[in-house]
């Protein structure tokens, strides 16, 4: 009986070959010359009809629950191969989405995928693209952490649609599995959603770009996704640590004044790091946060508290969540952060500290305080119209490690029907200082040991 391993073997017969090498040419596949490389391989190499059925590609002909995907890698200047794009999976039907991922269209169609990687070159014809290697991605067999992250991503997408916010879906909502746009945009592909009268851009499930790079590397170099992420983070941390004392103004040839100036200058500095593109993908896909903060002149304290998210709190998002552990606030606090502190003094902008924060929830006390802040915030949001003060939330001087307040950019922008200015979660300045002091102490002890 034929099985998925047989198709993996067949796919790997194309390793280091082009379609021309196996006699699949524009002349022989003339009906599909305008189709994608994946469609040509599907029909002329595997003998499968190209269709839009909501079932895996190999199911009808071979009774095997296996989907086929052909996806490009691109070679960067450092000769490293990275994923060129996200891996687009099945289309979403907002009305048929189920709460249980194991009953979803995503699981039914894309649980097991034969993924063929090829090297994309801009000036090459698709029949000359070189197939590099093929692997089977099996949702039930991937490491537990990534599997749970995908389940959580699916919940986020499902809950947003249930809240009538399909039109606000964004790839930045999630970490591995995303709801990517499909179609031409500009309203041409908008479809109805079940819990709102507002039409939403049509969407498909997809595995993010950075995840596809990790999947490729983890198979080619035989290390796990987790190890890959940790490796990149450690390399970036070590690189930036070696740059302590560097004046960022040396990289500011445009003399910018925007609020994101320091963040952009750090990224410019990081162009010297050999795996910069892989690091950038982790940032783009929200698997890691890079932040800069200004220090007081004597470098004893940061100038202000730390904004947990770049956006304000969405009322519906917080009121519809049952528990703190399911909230976006919890997810953001658990996300790793590389924090770079700066001292702007005497026309210089010096890197003073580089701190890796694996999570802002380091202890039961931190968890308890964060949960108190979230529960209090949810309660206030449920009854927001009844609140008669502009900021009724937990404040900095409540000393709960976290607090709620508006960002400067939201000044004067209120939640509909209220006098409450749109606000965000913040990590208290005192807590940030404690993390920085601990990092300095650890570095000092390491220097003593090494000397």
Let me know whether 45 and 175 are in one domain: yes
Let me know whether 302 and 327 are in one domain: yes
Per the domain annotation, does 183 fall within a domain? yes
Per the domain annotation, does 84 fall within a domain? yes
Half-sphere exposure of 13 (CA within 13 A, CB side): 11
pLDDT of 1 reads 60
Let me know whether 172 and 244 are in one domain: no
pLDDT of 203 reads 94
Let me know whether 176 and 57 are in one domain: yes
| 8 A C-beta contact, residue 42 and residue 114 | no
Q: What does the pLDDT look like over 294-343, one tens digit per residue? A: 999 888 899 999 999 878 888 888 888 888 988 889 989 988 999 999 99
Let me know whether 183 and 46 are in one domain: yes
Per the domain annotation, does 218 fall within a domain? no
Per the domain annotation, does 36 fall within a domain? yes
| 8 A C-beta contact, residue 422 and residue 313 | yes
pLDDT of 294 reads 93
- Domain containing residue 432: CATH number: 3.40.600.10
pLDDT of 449 reads 43
pLDDT of 447 reads 56
Per the domain annotation, does 378 fall within a domain? yes
Per the domain annotation, does 99 fall within a domain? yes
Let me know whether 27 and 130 are in one domain: yes
| 8 A C-beta contact, residue 118 and residue 72 | yes
pLDDT of 361 reads 93
| 8 A C-beta contact, residue 47 and residue 61 | yes
CA distance 210 to 146: 13
Q: What does the pLDDT look like over 203-234, one tens digit per residue? A: 999 999 989 998 998 887 666 667 778 888 89
Residue ranges of alpha helices (H) inside 209-251 are 209-220, 225-241
What's the domain count of the chain? 2
pLDDT of 451 reads 45
CA distance 369 to 400: 5
Cα dihedral 321, 324, 326, 328 sign: positive
pLDDT of 54 reads 85
pLDDT of 389 reads 81
Let me know whether 424 and 374 are in one domain: yes
Query: Which residue range forms the structural domain that includes residue 232?
Result: 227-450
CA distance 168 to 54: 25
| 8 A C-beta contact, residue 136 and residue 115 | yes
Q: What does the radius of gyration of the chain's CA atoms come to, in whole angstroms? A: 25
Give CA 402 to chain center in angstroms: 24
Q: Kindly report the number of other CB atoms within 10 A of residue 247's CB atom.
A: 13
Per the domain annotation, does 217 fall within a domain? no
CA distance 362 to 44: 55
CA distance 143 to 148: 9
pLDDT of 74 reads 94
Half-sphere exposure of 169 (CA within 13 A, CB side): 32
- At a CB cut-off of 8 Å and minimum separation 6, what does 270 contact? 236, 239, 240, 276, 279
What is the helix (H) or strand (E) element at residue 277, kind and residue range? helix 276-284
Length of the chain: 451
Let me know whether 186 and 261 are in one domain: no
Let me know whether 121 and 27 are in one domain: yes
Per the domain annotation, does 345 fall within a domain? yes
pLDDT of 442 reads 78
Let me know whether 392 and 265 are in one domain: yes
> Which residues does the chain have with pLDDT short of 70?
1, 28-35, 221-225, 255-257, 408-411, 443-451
Let me know whether 410 and 385 are in one domain: yes
């Amino acid at each position: 009986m034929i099985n998925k391993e047989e198709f993996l073997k067949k796919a790997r017969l194309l390793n280091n070959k082009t379609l021309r090498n196996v006699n699949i040419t524009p002349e022989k596949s003339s009906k599909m010359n305008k189709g994608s490389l994946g469609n040509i391989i599907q029909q002329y190499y595997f003998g499968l009809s190209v269709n839009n059925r909501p079932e895996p590609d190999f199911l009808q002909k071979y009774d095997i629950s296996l989907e086929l995907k052909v996806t490009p890698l691109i070679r960067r200047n450092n000769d490293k191969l990275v994923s060129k794009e996200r891996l687009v999976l099945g289309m979403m039907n907002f009305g048929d989405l189920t709460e249980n991922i194991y009953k979803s269209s995503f699981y039914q169609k894309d649980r097991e995928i034969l993924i063929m990687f090829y090297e994309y070159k801009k000036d090459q014809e698709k029949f000359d693209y070189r197939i590099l290697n093929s692997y089977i991605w099996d949702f039930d067999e991937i490491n537990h952490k990534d599997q749970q992250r995908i389940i959580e991503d699916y919940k986020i997408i499902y809950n947003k649609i249930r809240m009538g916010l399909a039109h606000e879906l964004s790839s930045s909502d999630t970490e591995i599995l995303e709801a990517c746009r499909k179609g031409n945009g500009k309203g041409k592909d908008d479809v109805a959603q079940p819990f709102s009268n507002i039409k939403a851009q049509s969407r498909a499930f997809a595995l993010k770009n950075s995840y596809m790079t990790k999947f490729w590397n983890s198979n080619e170099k035989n290390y796990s996704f987790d190890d890959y992420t940790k490796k990149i983070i450690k390399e970036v941390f070590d690189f930036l640590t070696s740059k302590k004392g560097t004046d960022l103004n040396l990289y500011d040839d445009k003399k910018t004044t925007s609020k994101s100036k320091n963040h952009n200058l750090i990224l410019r500095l990081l162009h010297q790091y050999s795996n910069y593109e892989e690091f950038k993908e982790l940032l783009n896909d929200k698997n890691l946060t890079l932040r800069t903060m200004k220090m007081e002149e004597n470098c004893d304290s940061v100038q202000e508290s730390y904004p947990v998210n770049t956006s304000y709190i969405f009322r519906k998002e917080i009121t519809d969540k049952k528990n703190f552990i399911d909230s976006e606030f919890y997810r953001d606090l658990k996300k790793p952060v590389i924090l770079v502190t700066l001292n702007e003094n005497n026309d210089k902008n010096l890197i003073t500290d580089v701190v890796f924060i694996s999570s802002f929830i380091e202890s039961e006390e931190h968890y308890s305080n964060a949960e108190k802040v979230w529960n209090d915030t949810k309660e206030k949001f449920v009854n927001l119209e009844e609140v008669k003060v502009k900021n009724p939330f937990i404040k900095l001087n409540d000393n709960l490690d976290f607090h709620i307040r508006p960002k400067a950019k939201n000044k004067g922008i209120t939640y509909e029907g209220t006098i409450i200015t749109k606000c965000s979660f913040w990590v208290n300045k005192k807590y940030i200082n404690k993390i920085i002091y601990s990092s300095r102490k650890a570095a000092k002890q390491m220097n003593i040991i090494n000397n």
